[in-house]
Structure 1
Amino acid sequence: MDESAERTRVEWHEWGPEPFEIADRAGKPVLLSLSATWCSWCHEMDEETYSEPRIAANVNDGFVPVRVDVDRHPRVRERYNMGGFPSTVFLTPEGEQLTGAGYLGPDGMRQVITSVRKMWDGKGAEAGRVPRSLQGEATPAGELTPRIEEQLLGALHETYDEQAGGWGADAKFPMPRTIEFALKREREQALRTLDAVGANLLDDYAGGFYRYAAGGDWSEPHYEKMLDTNAALVRAFANAYLYTGREEYRQPAADTIEYLTTTLWTGDAFAGSQSAGPGAEFYAREPTDREAADEPPVDPTPFADRNALAVDALLTYHAYTDDDAARQYAERALDYLAETLIDDGEVVHFRDPEDADEVGEALLLADHARTVAALTTAREVLGADALDGRAIELAERVADAAIDELHDEGSFRDGPANGEGLLDRPLRPLDGNVEMTDALLDLAVLTGEDRYRDVARETIEAFAGAWDRFGPQVAGYGSAASRLLNGTLVIRVGDDAGSDLHRAALRMGDHEKVVVPEAEGVEDGTAAASIVTGDERSSSSPRSQAREDAAATAEPAETPEQLEARVSDLIDERSEAN
């Protein structure tokens, strides 16, 4: 429990079976407080509300108070989040929701406590409810069609902010996966959005991106710096550099890597986040004033999903720039993942660096999806020797564990269907399913195992019945659907990782491609480009089939120049056909 909670007058319980058992025996509701170490409003609520003696006494007497760190308990976060943090949620002893709110000042908390007590006295546990997303309804399955990508392109056009950049008119989030979808399909929107992100959310003094902006014009930044946000933006800016070759997109990625490898580096891996500090005054100061002030604290916890995303991002940047420091830090973080957080294919969310007995949940979808992605990227960029030659074997074990334990009814659950409260209710997050699909498609190419592609296709089809309701927030779904329908550009290189041909292949203009150095079946010192479609090959159109046959029989490229010309021709052919 963080120091902010410990300084309050509330007698907090840790998440687990005990507080629910106490609530059941005492006939009391549970007060669940969702908080985060980086959340300034959470700390303010601790100081202003939970530290007020009469409120604390009312909470202790009438409820069983539970404090949860949302970074350490992502499944609790996803089931009980009231739209931001802090979230203040009142539950039955069975974990069903009575009511909830976000930040509550002293007056607001008094009113809510009174209301909940009346509700509880009148209806008791019968007043509890289960959110619709947890009621066990089947996902909206459907057929994959080109209309999915078209729908998401239309959503980009409908919601794009022509004045400020980004999508939507309210609070602006960076949305790096949406940017990457747009880079290949609506590049001008993607680049203008990256321009806005760099101009408004990048800390020019210390490096690193802030979490989001409350204003529709990118004003009023929320100054928290999250590892996952920063890693995803490093990759998005690097991919923009891939397409444009422009320094204005490489430099923000480089500056952010410097922040990650200094401020957020623990010595073994990357820390989870840096707080905005009390009231966020630190970041609003002039640079000279910041030098004399204490920096906001860092949560040193290395989370599996965030570190895996950082590995992916730093290796992507290295692939395009040959930056050796980025590669070295990526390899060290990957070693930490493999040696500390992966056990027989199961990924553990975290291990507390200061308390060896505190270990996070295992088998969380986001941890597995991003770890597989990091390992496949390592194989593409570093070659067969990545992770001492274990990268692909470990990627298969991590993927297999997720498929065996989390994949049922056509899609992936966010974690094991057990635990306190509503944790035993399966939740099937679209974004996590998309990330796992992308990782499995890469793994299918690198291993030649069609079973990974089969699971990927089934997973995307499990949500395809709702394609007409998808917006820009889930644009990554369109990328995955497109890869399944149209195939993935694969460049097989017969030469070693790091050779001129391999480096040229990594820099071909399609960030969704898969590069296989030291590929079998290719003459030494040569490279070939082909479109891989797996189980789609037998049912592809005659035009698509002809394109595949041409790619498969094309004479191998022997120089980077030949490779660039042949891959460019293939990309142009695919664009014309689609």
Structure 2
Amino acid sequence: MMIWKAWSKEIFEEAAEQLKLILLMLVSDLNSCSMDAQFQPGAQEAYTLEEIERNFLPVKVTVEERPDIELLLSPGYYPSTLLLSPEGRILCVVQPQEKDLYEVLFQARRQYINEGTKAGVPVGMPAYPVQEAFSWGMNEIQTVIGALMRSCEQELQRIATPLSEQKTIGFEGKMLLFVTQAALILRDEHLTSLAGQYMEHMAAVLWDPHNNGFFASIQGETPLPIKKLSHQLEAMEALVSFAQQDETSSRRAIEALLQAIEGNFSKDEGLYSTYSSTTTMYTADNMHLLRCLLLARDKELLPAGLEANISLFAARLEQTVADDGSVAVLPFASARAPVPLLSTQVACARAFFACYRYNKETRFLQKGLRALGYAISHLMLSLGGVLMAKDQSDRLPLLRPLDANMEFVLACLEAAELTEASMYRECARNVLAMFRQNYSGFGNQKYTYGTGLLALVVAENLLEAGES
């Protein structure tokens, strides 16, 4: 994943060998994409780095310096690339099917020259209201769940209509997880049916019949040949929940997903790549995989022979956790690794809590609590919500993405259950209250808000309290 911010000679000089190679590849791409049809190929001169710097002044190159921006704004395609102005405003997003890279850069430069520092759109999220004291009851939660369910039904109707050339369908794992969790926790037959329908449509439209696994998206009848590890894992979590209704089908589907992960994603020292088309690995995805394996094992849905690998996998991921609880975003990163991210911290906490429940080894509980404690100490705001990253950048805003905040809520509720410490539950309640008014403004991340509320229902026995 690359984020282009601005061309700068200083950045060229300071770049690591990996960045220099990427820059050379970029120059090669520019040369191959910018041939003028009125001239013969041999009569055209190739660009040099200096010419690119001079002609595309507003664009700097950085690689994975701010993966929080990539994780937040990437629509799920690899390699979705942001063109940012020097002020950190988005000039455009380049999708992988983009053919004319020269034209994209040229238009970004023209827009920046014409509009100045206000060109593009600011990197930001919906407005964050000031946190207010709020006590959740089952009636308030059911109101939110009902609104999200109506949204799910509308999305299912859209997916079920015939495909057209313009129609694009993406894998919506967050919605699928929410529906299956709601069906399980609320014991609602309509929700169970809705979850089954959605899973069937996803399998019919996005499942790869040859190599297995879910494609990231499909446009018309053409799938984008990219798969995300997180999509496979969200589907696996949903299948574990759905096994209560159809254990045989869930078992077969989980086995197929595990085979797809092994066959589609690069592997290094036991860890898997984030996309099927790259070797880049994020710690958070592998922590998620560890937790999914343990979830499947708890329900006796794990294929024979895989349980023996869990301890080795967990031991490898332990190496990414520092003494202060910070977790490496990139497991094989150099000393110039990015700052810790909320999504990585909470993925680690939840994975190691699952390890502790599995083998009762207290070191996993302690490491999970340290990872969560780092997020509470360094990333949580007194005004409410949790930052994605604590970064000193003055050009890009500090972000509080909803999905990572809801993973934080789930981690806090799990920590409260394991330690009986009220502090964690209070943190979870505060974050849920923070997003009460604006959760619907986060696109499809809004379904994670429903998942967070459902976890609160279970943690505080609100369903039984409402029935009594």
User: TM class by shorter-chain length?
Assistant: 0.7 to 0.9
Pair 1:220-2:199 in alignment: no
- How many angstroms apart in 1 are the aligned matches of 2:290 and 2:386? 23
Counterpart of 2:297 in structure 1 is 318
Pair 1:116-2:113 in alignment: no
Counterpart of 1:397 in structure 2 is 370
Match for 1:62 among 55, 58, 61? 55
Match for 1:201 among 206, 213, 222? 206
> What TM-score do the two structures reach when normalised by structure 1?
0.64
Deviation at 1:333, TM superposition (A): 2.5
Counterpart of 1:96 in structure 2 is 88
SS in 1 for 2:91: strand
- How many angstroms apart in 2 are the aligned matches of 1:55 and 1:44? 9
- Percent identical pairs in the alignment equals 17
Asked whether the equivalents of residues 366 and 432 of structure 1 are also in contact (C-alpha less than 8 Å), the reply is: yes
Asked whether the equivalents of residues 437 and 459 of structure 1 are also in contact (C-alpha less than 8 Å), the reply is: yes
C-alpha distance 391-82 of structure 1, shift in aligned 2 (>3 A): closer
SS in 1 for 2:340: coil
- Aligned AA (1:317): A
Pairing 1:485-500 to 2, within 5 Å after superposition: 486-488=457-459
Deviation at 1:223, TM superposition (A): 1.8
Deviation at 1:487, TM superposition (A): 3.8
- How many angstroms apart in 1 are the aligned matches of 2:124 and 2:170? 23
Counterpart of 1:480 in structure 2 is 452
Deviation at 1:170, TM superposition (A): 4.4
Asked whether the equivalents of residues 317 and 326 of structure 1 are also in contact (C-alpha less than 8 Å), the reply is: no
Counterpart of 1:49 in structure 2 is 33
C-alpha distance 459-68 of structure 1, shift in aligned 2 (>3 A): same
Counterpart of 1:345 in structure 2 is 325
Asked whether the equivalents of residues 82 and 92 of structure 2 are also in contact (C-alpha less than 8 Å), the reply is: yes
The worse-fitting range, judged by mean Cα deviation, of 456-465 and 58-67 is 58-67
Deviation at 1:396, TM superposition (A): 0.8
Counterpart of 1:431 in structure 2 is 403
C-alpha distance 390-111 of structure 1, shift in aligned 2 (>3 A): closer
- The structure whose RCO (Cα within 8 Å, separation 6+) is larger is 2
Deviation at 1:429, TM superposition (A): 0.3
C-alpha distance 66-343 of structure 1, shift in aligned 2 (>3 A): farther
SS in 1 for 2:320: helix
> What TM-score do the two structures reach when normalised by structure 2?
0.77
Deviation at 1:316, TM superposition (A): 1.1
- How many angstroms apart in 2 are the aligned matches of 1:20 and 1:221? 37
Deviation at 1:481, TM superposition (A): 1.9
Deviation at 1:438, TM superposition (A): 0.9
- How many angstroms apart in 2 are the aligned matches of 1:467 and 1:350? 29
Counterpart of 1:357 in structure 2 is 334
Pairing 1:151-550 to 2, within 5 Å after superposition: 151-161=147-157, 164=160, 170-183=167-180, 184-185=182-183, 186-215=191-220, 219-241=221-243, 243-261=244-262, 264=265, 265-275=267-277, 298-299=278-279, 301-321=280-300, 323=302, 324-352=304-332, 357=334, 360-380=337-357, 382-385=358-361, 389-408=362-381, 409-419=383-393, 421-422=395-396, 425-467=397-439, 473-484=445-456, 486-488=457-459, 532=460, 547=464
Asked whether the equivalents of residues 90 and 121 of structure 2 are also in contact (C-alpha less than 8 Å), the reply is: no
Deviation at 1:431, TM superposition (A): 0.8
- How many angstroms apart in 2 are the aligned matches of 1:333 and 1:51? 48
Counterpart of 2:122 in structure 1 is 131
Asked whether the equivalents of residues 216 and 228 of structure 2 are also in contact (C-alpha less than 8 Å), the reply is: yes
Q: State the structure with more CA Rg.
A: 1
- Aligned AA (1:364): L
Task: Provide the alpha-carbon RMSD of the alignment.
Answer: 3.8
SS in 2 for 1:224: coil
Deviation at 1:161, TM superposition (A): 1.6
SS in 2 for 1:182: helix
Name the count of aligned residue pairs: 423
C-alpha distance 82-255 of structure 1, shift in aligned 2 (>3 A): closer
- How many angstroms apart in 1 are the aligned matches of 2:275 and 2:458? 37
Q: Deviations over 1:82-132 (max 9, x none)?
A: 99654352513xx332732425544x7447626734752x665x4456616
Asked whether the equivalents of residues 156 and 198 of structure 2 are also in contact (C-alpha less than 8 Å), the reply is: no
Deviation at 1:152, TM superposition (A): 1.2
- How many angstroms apart in 1 are the aligned matches of 2:442 and 2:104? 38
Q: Deviations over 1:498-521 (max 9, x none)?
A: xxxxxxxxxxxxxxxxxxxxxxxx
Asked whether the equivalents of residues 291 and 351 of structure 2 are also in contact (C-alpha less than 8 Å), the reply is: yes
Structure 2: runs of 5 or more not aligned: 12-21, 37-43, 184-190
The worse-fitting range, judged by mean Cα deviation, of 57-66 and 264-273 is 57-66
Asked whether the equivalents of residues 326 and 371 of structure 2 are also in contact (C-alpha less than 8 Å), the reply is: yes
Deviation at 1:404, TM superposition (A): 0.7
- How many angstroms apart in 1 are the aligned matches of 2:89 and 2:443? 28
SS in 1 for 2:160: coil
Q: Deviations over 1:384-434 (max 9, x none)?
A: 13xxx3111111100010011110021111101323742xx2111011101
- How many angstroms apart in 2 are the aligned matches of 1:434 and 1:202? 28
Asked whether the equivalents of residues 251 and 301 of structure 2 are also in contact (C-alpha less than 8 Å), the reply is: no
Pair 1:148-2:144 in alignment: yes
Q: Deviations over 1:462-491 (max 9, x none)?
A: 11012565765422211212333x342xxx
Pair 1:77-2:70 in alignment: yes
Deviation at 1:233, TM superposition (A): 1.7
C-alpha distance 189-82 of structure 1, shift in aligned 2 (>3 A): closer
Asked whether the equivalents of residues 349 and 372 of structure 2 are also in contact (C-alpha less than 8 Å), the reply is: yes
Asked whether the equivalents of residues 165 and 196 of structure 1 are also in contact (C-alpha less than 8 Å), the reply is: no
SS in 2 for 1:89: strand
